[in-house]
Amino acid sequence: MMETKDKPKPPYSDKELDLLALFYTAVKILFVSGHTSHILELAAVIEPIRGNYELHLTTIRNENAYYCCVIQLLTCEGIGDNASARPLYVIGDSHSLAPSWRSIDIAGEPRYLTGRLVTGLKMWHLRKESEFFPKANFEAALSCVPSGSDCLFIFGEIDCREGLVVCVDKCRYDDIEEGAEVTIKIYLDRLAKLIKDKNLRIFVHPVNPVIKETRYIVKIFNRVLKKQVQKYAKNLQGKLVWLDFFSELLTSDGSTLKEEYNLDGTHIHPCYLGVVQEALNRALEHS
């Protein structure tokens, strides 16, 4: 986890920060396109500029956050393993970065987790009347996934972090559970259409419980998500599959994320893929 406390403010102008953001974006593009082997060369140039400065409160905080996440992921074992294996597409928000460009074994076959990032997408954005740009990004990401593919979908954390509490506070919903039901229906209606239109097999990933402040919301949300995925799955001939591993990420009392699964306080460590692999194989055995 990269510490930010007691760091000095960067001695850069707004234009210089914007230039640094362009380099950060180059790193992000290399990672999300799977060209991970080139990143550390670029990072070696960026790091002296980035220095020991406080950047998470500047105008380039989002670019800085992605950069830090990517660099940490590159230090974890497994990047690029079995890259020639049959792809399992990972479609998600920033929480799709941790599993991307690694491999797991499904039914004895290695599968390469091929990332398709959709930055900033809430499930809420997928409603029919939405015109917000993450929805267009979602459609673009799916256009790059061949028909008949297996996919792992990872969305919902931003809804839990930014959307539901605000809506309850504004009395749009009576409680978090009602808001989750409305939001998840939008999501699953869209997944069901993708299954019909592109013949995808979709594995639904629970929302990761990394952020302690929103963990109680995530627990409610995942309970509703599991129930609704299983309900929708009855009419989709094994094409929609819930991955039931959420509780395995938490300590025995269910209150805290297991320390080994914490990457940076926001994102999960890729070592959790062992749990994902087991859940996938259990689900397929019982499908």
Q: Are both 263 and 135 inside the same structural domain?
A: yes
Residue 201 has φ and ψ, to the nearest 5°, of -105, 120
In the block, residue with structure tokens 């230090």 = 75
Cα distance between residue 154 and residue 117, in whole Å? 10
Q: Are both 139 and 274 inside the same structural domain?
A: yes
Residue 6 has pLDDT above 80, yes or no: no
Would you say residue 4 lies in a domain? no
Q: Are both 238 and 126 inside the same structural domain?
A: yes
One-letter amino acid for residue 101 of the chain: W
Would you say residue 125 lies in a domain? yes
The Cβ-side half-sphere exposure at 281, using a 13 Å CA radius, reads 14
Q: Are both 39 and 91 inside the same structural domain?
A: no
3-class state of residue 156 by DSSP: coil
Cα distance between residue 196 and residue 189, in whole Å? 11
Cα distance between residue 143 and residue 176, in whole Å? 33
Cα distance between residue 251 and residue 265, in whole Å? 16
* Packing angle of the helix pair 61-74, 39-50 (nearest 10 deg): 130
pLDDT 10s digits, 47-65: 999 988 999 889 999 999 9
Would you say residue 2 lies in a domain? no
Residue range 173-190: average pLDDT?
94
Q: Where in the sequence is the domain holding 213, given as residue range(s)?
A: 86-285
Domain termination site, one of 54, 74, 94 = 74
pLDDT 10s digits, 97-150: 999 999 999 999 999 999 999 999 999 999 999 999 999 999 999 999 999 999
Q: Are both 126 and 55 inside the same structural domain?
A: no
Would you say residue 122 lies in a domain? yes
The count of domains in the chain is 2
pLDDT band of residue 2 (cuts 50, 70, 90) is very low
CATH number of the structural domain spanning residue 271: 3.40.50.1110
Q: Are both 268 and 154 inside the same structural domain?
A: yes
Contact 207, 157 (CB under 8 A): yes
Tokens for 48? 């002296």
pLDDT 10s digits, 139-172: 999 999 999 999 999 999 999 999 888 888 787 8
Would you say residue 68 lies in a domain? yes
Would you say residue 205 lies in a domain? yes
Q: Are both 148 and 44 inside the same structural domain?
A: no
pLDDT band of residue 5 (cuts 50, 70, 90) is low
Q: Are both 40 and 100 inside the same structural domain?
A: no
Contact 204, 184 (CB under 8 A): no
The residue count of the chain comes to 287
Q: Are both 56 and 156 inside the same structural domain?
A: no
Q: Are both 29 and 65 inside the same structural domain?
A: yes
Domain termination site, one of 74, 106, 122 = 74
How would you classify residue 38: left for phi > 0, otherwise alpha for psi between -120 and 50, otherwise beta?
alpha
Would you say residue 80 lies in a domain? no
Q: Are both 142 and 227 inside the same structural domain?
A: yes
Would you say residue 141 lies in a domain? yes
pLDDT of residue 168: 83
Tokens for 112? 């390469």
Starting at the edge strand found earlier in the chain, the sheet holding 240-242 runs 103-106, 109-117, 86-92, 150-154, 201-204, 240-242
Q: Are both 141 and 233 inside the same structural domain?
A: yes
